[in-house]
Amino acid sequence: MADKQCDALVIGAGPGGYVSAIRLGQLKQKTILVEKAWIGGTCLHVGCIPSKALITAAKFHEKLKHASDFGINVQGVSIDFPKMVHWERDIIEKFTGGIKQLLKGNSVETVMGVARFISPNEVEVTNGNSTITIAAKNIVIATGSVPSGIPPFPFDGERIISSTEALVLPEIPKRLLVIGGGYIGLEMGIMYAHLGSKVTVVEMMDQLLPGFDAELVRTLARSLRQKGIECHVNAKAKTFSGTVGNLNVTVEVEGSDRIFETDRVLVTVGRKPNTAGLDIEKAGLKTDARGFVPVNNKCQTSVSGIYAIGDVVGNPMLAHKASKEGEIVAEIIAGHNRVVDYLAMPAVIFTDPEIATVGLSESEAKEKGYNAGIGKFPFGASARALTQGATDGYMKVIFDRDSKQVLGFHIIGPDASDLIGEATLAIEMGSTVEDISLTVHPHPTLTETVMEAAKAALGEAIHIVNR
């Protein structure tokens, strides 16, 4: 006999798990949420939220260095990094408390401990010397992902760090070598560059942000050079030696070995699904070759009553994707007819300038058989961007020339993370570039760039010469 029984058991309290549990509670399902360490998961504690807090603080510091451009003379600016980290941790504490209250308010029982399957409908949860069993009609796996490492550079939390340690360092490193030029590496690298570190990025592929629109990457690469960040592509990190503050890293750059001196090495080569210790085979489940849990468009696994959501089911590994899947699964468990059927999943990179994309790129649209065209509007022609002193980048819309339907948006520039929301809605609603161009946007705002890009697609842009 199990110690506890419920309608739904959610394993993992990240942005997929806690959202799913809250929605289950709203739908009057008796729900238990199991979490081994942090309510809010990686995203809240060592991912999205703390990184954006420090990125915001670092960007503010960078802006102060250029305050004289606005006629503001600032002197004596200094950084109290421990206090900055404390401020970041305080945000996490407040948000964690809010989630706990929401769980309680929706009658979700939270059990802290490490979960492992003992059968398809029963889980054992261990917390220290205490162990209980929970039987559930439905089980949701929402265990997320963990940083991937590379064999020559094992994580030790000191010399070789992951993004987790990068958010709580005791000091700002004078020199930082970042292995991996993906979004995490560039976000962290730019953040520390804004705080005064000499940052070097090495990427094994032939461009930074592999898989992203090449024009976006070129624009960002130019900004990185202006910030003094040294970047090397086609570069393979091989070995290292030394101690914190005095490390020598050997990197093969375009066929030749180079030695880079650095204080610490940040490895950001991706993330992998977190299923270790879950004993999913005892539930009758198997992962694929990459360790992901296969699911259908209802997030159902191969075992009836067991679901999986978020990073553990595969790319894209995004918090908002996990949350959406968490809501869908909760509604399916409650008897609603739901499937994962979104047309567009936005992605944001909090670099400087920010990058945000949704939908198809121009090349992807052509590969799918569309008569693809683009409309593009530079932030340098935006009145609001000029008043912010943030004119790098552009707004680009991809559309089908025949139907005028919007297929994608690619943004690099100020507040791209906020602007992508309208773009995503446009795709979900099947909007045309004409719909957007006819919609009145307030002036002076950055949202006008969405309208102007749509007008440019039609050859009707007002504030640039049409192509």
Phi, psi of 38 (to 5 degrees): -130, 125
Is 441 a residue of the active site? Answer: no
Q: Which pLDDT tens digits describe the chain residue by residue (467 residues)? A: 899 999 999 999 999 999 999 999 999 999 999 999 999 999 999 999 999 999 999 999 999 999 999 999 999 999 999 999 999 999 999 999 999 999 999 999 999 999 999 999 999 999 999 999 999 999 999 999 999 999 999 999 999 999 999 999 999 999 999 999 999 999 999 999 999 999 999 999 999 999 899 999 999 999 999 999 999 999 999 999 999 999 999 999 988 999 999 999 999 999 999 999 999 999 999 999 999 999 999 999 999 999 999 999 999 999 999 999 999 999 999 999 999 999 999 999 999 999 999 999 999 999 999 999 999 999 999 999 999 999 999 999 999 999 999 999 999 999 999 999 999 999 999 999 999 999 999 999 999 999 999 999 999 999 999 97
Give the chain's domains with CATH numbers. 4-147+272-333 (3.50.50.60), 160-269 (3.50.50.60), 347-457 (3.30.390.30)
Query: What sign results for the dihedral spanned by CA atoms 146, 152, 155, 160?
Result: negative
**Options 66, 86, 336, 443, the catalytic residue:** 443
Would you give the distance in Å from CA 384 to the centre of its chain?
A: 27
Which residues lie below 8 Å from residue 287, measured CB to CB, with a gap of 6+?
273, 275, 280, 293, 294
Closest CA to 302 of 319, 281, 318: 281
- Residue 173, preceding peptide bond in cis (omega within 30° of 0): no
Look at the pTM and tell me if it is higher than 0.75: yes
Chain centroid to CA 14: 13
| Residues 419, 348: Cα–Cα separation, whole Å | 10
**CB contact at 8 A, 133 and 2:** yes
